Structure 1
Amino acid sequence: MNSLFVRVYIIFSILISLAFISLYVFVSYTLQQTLNEEIEWSLRTSWQSIASLIQEDGGFQYDEEVFSIFRKGSGNYLLVKQGNRVAEIQPDEYVLDFPQRYGFYTFEWKGRLIAGFIKSYEGYTIGVYRDVSEKRSYKNTLLKKFTLGWFLLLILFLLLSYVLWFLSLRNIRKLAKSIEISTPEELKPINIKLPSEFMPLLNSYNKLIERLNVYIQNQRLFLYHLSHQLKTPLSIIRTAVDLAFRQNRKKEELLNLLLNIRASVEKALKITEKMLFLYRLESKSHQTNLENFNLKLLIEEVLDELLPLIDKKNLTVDVKLDDVILEADKELVYSILINLVENAVKYSPIGGKIEITTNKGCLYISDNGPGIQEEDMEKVFEPFYRGSNVLSQEGSGLGLSISRAIAQLFGWKILLENKRNGGLLVKVCFSA
């Protein structure tokens, strides 16, 4: 039974039925108790009337008015005994066949229900009885009507509840239909009225759609920029191959063409490798190898690798680092540092200065290059996007995207800020 509706409806029906049975038992018990109290009170009253006929000298005085209630056919019976001697019987001697117990009690006699009350007074044992079969029949008839009425009401209630629940789930089926006809090309939030219990499901779905739309849009931009970046090296390769196939090419010309092809292939490979690396980071499929290492030593490795570029532009690099121990994937952190420091070197003017410092758990990389236009501050972290003021510089536009993806993997932050006197300040904070 996989239907939630059927399971809930069955449980609801069982609970309602149990409530009905409990109500029936309670009403039946209460009605019986009320009836018994009424009969007992009536018998006590009759008993007191008989007891009042006993004289002070112990004699028993007959009273026509009192004894008239015990006439034959009235359904009332009387037995008065003094010791073992019968003092009075009304209306027939078969009263002697009635069971005799002190207090109030009921018993069956010849298919009739008889209620009796016996108590001693002034040496006499007085027992009054009454045929209560009609009252029992009345009680049973009342219970039958009550049972029939409540049973019909229960059936009606269950039918109505089924219909109402079925109608309330109609919107769920409408929601399922809307989801079914959705396509990746057109994912829109769904706006339909649902019961409040199902609104969290609809809201979660709409939020998922919003995230999917952003993801799909980013993928489209990603592929667009990728194709644009690969277009140039592939065009160069095709042109070089076409030229190589022409006749009368000198050896030196063929060598230059091959070098151009090789350079273009390397550029395309770098772009592809960076793209795949970024994809693994964003999809959380990259395996990280956590270890403890000194940030200062890792930055020294980065500067050693970039030393030829630094010397070529005659840059001054001022390094003031504390001994910061990080627990992370050393190779990934190296990728962040090489991207950020290489950008500082690339965009710094000849003879410029780069400062690398640490303070309060953050790394600062400062240059005196052109900085970033304010409208490009967030966009430069998008894949293949490059600032409008640095388009003349060679680059793929993937460095900052990869750096931020790695930082987010460890819960770090990368912030960019233009300096007042020119240049860019990059801030990497190693705590959230």
Structure 2
Amino acid sequence: MRRLTLRGRLALLTAAAVAFAVAACATASWFLVREALYSELDRQLRDRVEGPGPKPRLSLLALDALADCTSEATKRVMPKEDPKARPRNGAGNASGSPWPLPPEELQQVVREDGTRCTIPDHGVMPVTSVDKRVARGEEKAAFHTGTGVDYTGKEIDVRTYTIAYDLWNGERGAVMTALPMARVTGPLNSLALTLTLVSVFGVGISAAAGLLTARASLRPVDRLAEAVEEVARTEDLSVRIPERGGDEVARLSRSFNTMTAALEASRERQRALIADAGHELRTPLTSMKTNIDLLIRSEETGRALPAETKSGMLASLRAQMRELTTLVGDLLQLGSPAAPPRQTGEVAFHEVVRRAVERARLRGPGLTVTTRLDPWYVQGDPDTLERAVVNLCDNAVKFSPPGGAVEVVLRGGELTVRDRGPGISEEDLPHVFERFWRSPQARSLPGSGLGLSIVAQVVQEAGGSVRLERAPGGGTVARLRLPGNLMPT
């Protein structure tokens, strides 16, 4: 089964389902017809034996056989006329109207002791326990299936109807009348053959229809497979599959298109990140290479640089190295989704903000940083949350004028960081959280342009939101909101 294609499995399952249904219907039909034929045969037997009088009817030959095998005591009380002289035209008698016995019909009389009175050259039937019970009066009548010998001496299957019969001297007995089972088995065999042929033909038609249906149904899947193979071969993520209808295949096509669109967007972001990172790394690396080349040339030529120049170059190298370190750290932070999952839990966010503000104070010793922090507990990673708050505070410190003030307030789950700097223009606000984007005022200041991107990523992972606004009276205010509670859970 596993070696078959999906199309083959669908066709096979369809054929199997139809075959099961056809077989069930055919079997049920056969048994219903069998029951109807048995009922009809039993009705024929009952109509032939049960006459209008109180006693069952016997054929003329059965009456003769009964007279021949009747006991002497019975013969003394029987009528004097010769049974063989009885009229053959169906005139009335004590047992009802007699009738000629057809060759295929068997009839015999069973006495109470189990002996039978048979018709010579017209077959014989074995006396069963059921027949004996009817002859003894324990049962009134009974149907049963068995074997008998017909008038040619051939053993055949018969359906027998045994009914109680009172002999002339009051002796109990029974009349056994049988018809060949060929009246039932013949039509049943023909019906079974017909049903088998129809079933085989129906299963064949259903298998062909299932195969055609599977081909038509899986044609969109074939197109999807071809598209996947095309993407794998060319690595072209712009490939799209036509989306038609609302079935499962159309849903699969939409999912594939959504996946390729997401992968294409991810690849474009990756390319943009690499390009922007290369651009940002090129400037400090070029400056460092220039300074190092000058220092090496000075040592190789023996022309010592002035102490002030050399000190300035080393200080520049140190600053550039610090800038590179910060840039690499920011790039690693942005690439953290590929890193192992962080350990998240309940975090006292006000304590995180307090530690971040202390770090920011060290970077702006001439600034006044005021805080007002209400308790707030959130779910997240404390290290990444602290890095986000530090970036917001560093941004405020960087753009604050000498002797300025920075206000940090945490109230009701919203953290606001305000500075008194030059502020951000309205046209620059939509771009502040983009990677490597820097406003014209910030391009002369140290930094990589990744700080606010890291803030946006951390806040998004924590289920919060962050935005920057122009503050009334000048400066910028950053608003960071995280879901949480006033009390620890």
Q: TM-score, normalised by structure 2?
A: 0.74
1:239 and 2:301 are equivalent in the alignment? no
CA distance in 2, matches of 1:51, 1:125: 16
Contact 1:53 1:63 in 2 (8 A): no
Query: Does structure 1 residue 417 correspond to structure 2 residue 469?
Result: yes
Of the three residues 53, 60, 76, the one matched with 2:105 is 76
Q: 2:145 aligns with which of 97, 102, 106?
A: 106
Query: Aligned to 1:209, which of 243, 253, 260?
Result: 260
* 8 A Cα contact 1:295 1:326, kept in partner: no
Paired residue type of 1:240: N
What does 1:15-164 align with in structure 2 at a 5 Å threshold? 15-49=17-51, 51=53, 64-65=89-90, 70-73=100-103, 75-79=104-108, 92=120, 94-99=122-127, 101=131, 102-109=141-148, 110-120=154-164, 125-164=174-213
Q: Secondary structure at the match of 1:364?
A: strand
Query: Is 1:317 aligned to residue 369 of structure 2?
Result: yes
Residue pair 2:145, 2:157 contacting (<8 A) in 1 also: yes
Shift of 1:165: 1.8
Q: Distance in 2 between matches of 1:359 and 1:241?
A: 50
Contact in 1 for aligned 2:15/2:206 (Cα 8 Å):
no
What amino acid is aligned across from residue 191 of structure 2 in structure 1?
Answer: L
Shift of 1:370: 4.0
Alignment match, 1:250? 305
**One-letter amino acid of the structure 1 residue matched with residue 328 of structure 2:** T
Aligned residues: 425
CA distance 1:221–1:93, change in 2 (3 Å) = same
The amino acid of 2:322's aligned partner reads E
Q: In structure 2, how many angstroms separate the alpha carbons of the residues matched to 1:81 and 1:299?
A: 112
CA–CA separation in structure 2 for the residues paired with 1:267 and 1:191: 49
How many angstroms does 1:11 deviate by? 5.2
CA shift digits 1:207-245 (9 cap, x unpaired): 221221221111121112112212221222233345443
1:134 Cα offset (Å): 4.0
Gap change, CA 1:11 and 1:69, over 3 Å in 2: farther
Q: Distance in 2 between matches of 1:421 and 1:372?
A: 13
Q: Matches of 1:326 and 1:133 in 2, distance apart?
A: 89
Match of 2:350 in 1: 295
196, 199, 207: which one aligns with 2:250: 199
Partners of 2:344 and 2:106 in 1: how far apart? Answer: 101
Distance 1:37 1:388, change over 3 A: farther
Q: Distance in 1 between matches of 2:115 and 2:361?
A: 134
SS at match of 2:415: strand
Unaligned 5+ runs, structure 1: none
1:120-166 residue CA offsets vs partner (Å, 9 max, x unmatched): 25656333322341442122112111111112211221233134324
Ranked by relative contact order (alpha carbons within 8 Å, sequence separation 6 or more), the top structure is 2
Q: Per the alignment, in what secondary structure is the counterpart of residue 49 of structure 1? A: coil
**What is the rounded CA distance, in whole Å, between the counterparts of 1:351 and 1:65 in structure 2?**
140
Q: Partners of 2:114 and 2:344 in 1: how far apart?
A: 110
Question: How far 1:69 moved relative to its partner?
Answer: 5.7
Give the CA deviation at 1:3. 4.8
In structure 2, what is the equivalent of residue 306 of structure 1?
360
Distance 1:420 1:264 in 2: 36
Distance between the aligned counterparts of 1:134 and 1:234, measured in 2?
A: 106
- The match for 2:63 is none
State the distance in 2 between where 1:27 and 1:81 align: 38
1:278 aligns with 2:334: yes
Higher mean alpha-carbon deviation, 164-173 vs 395-404, is at 164-173
Contact 1:70–1:76 (8 Å) recurs in 2: no
CA distance 1:70–1:23, shift in 2 (3 Å): farther
Q: Partners of 2:17 and 2:435 in 1: how far apart?
A: 59
- Mapped contact 2:50–2:56 kept (Cα < 8 A): no
CA distance in 1, matches of 2:386, 2:102: 116
Q: 1:403 to 1:195 in 2, by over 3 A?
A: closer
Structure 1 residue matching 2:51: 3-state secondary structure? helix
**Greater Cα offset, 303-312 or 332-341:** 303-312
- Deviation per residue, 1:105-131 (Å, 9 max, x gap): 222333433222121256563333223
**Paired AA for residue 483 in structure 2:** S
Q: Are 1:69 and 1:76, in contact at CA under 8 Å, matched by a contact in 2?
A: no
Distance 1:328 1:147 in 2: 70
Do the aligned partners of 1:79 and 1:95 also contact (CA within 8 Å) in 2? Answer: no
Cα RMSD, aligned residues only: 3.8
CA drift at 1:278: 1.8
8 Å Cα contact 1:47/1:127 also seen in 2: no
Q: CA contact under 8 A between 1:373 and 1:389: conserved in structure 2?
A: no
Distance 1:286 1:404, change over 3 A: farther
Residue type of the alignment partner of 1:76: E
Q: Is residue 189 of structure 1 aligned with residue 240 of structure 2?
A: yes
Question: Does structure 2 retain, via aligned residues, the 8 Å contact 1:171–1:193?
Answer: no
Of 269, 273, 277 in structure 2, the residue corresponding to residue 218 of structure 1 is 269
Secondary structure at 1:64 match in 2: coil
- Point out the structure with max Rg over C-alpha: 2
1:284 and 1:377 mapped to 2: Cα distance? Answer: 30
The aligned residue for residue 227 of structure 1 is 278
How far did residue 294 of structure 1 move?
6.6
The CA deviation at 1:181 is 1.3
Aligned equivalents of 2:175, 2:258: Cα separation in 1? 86
Q: Structure 1 length normalisation: TM-score?
A: 0.82
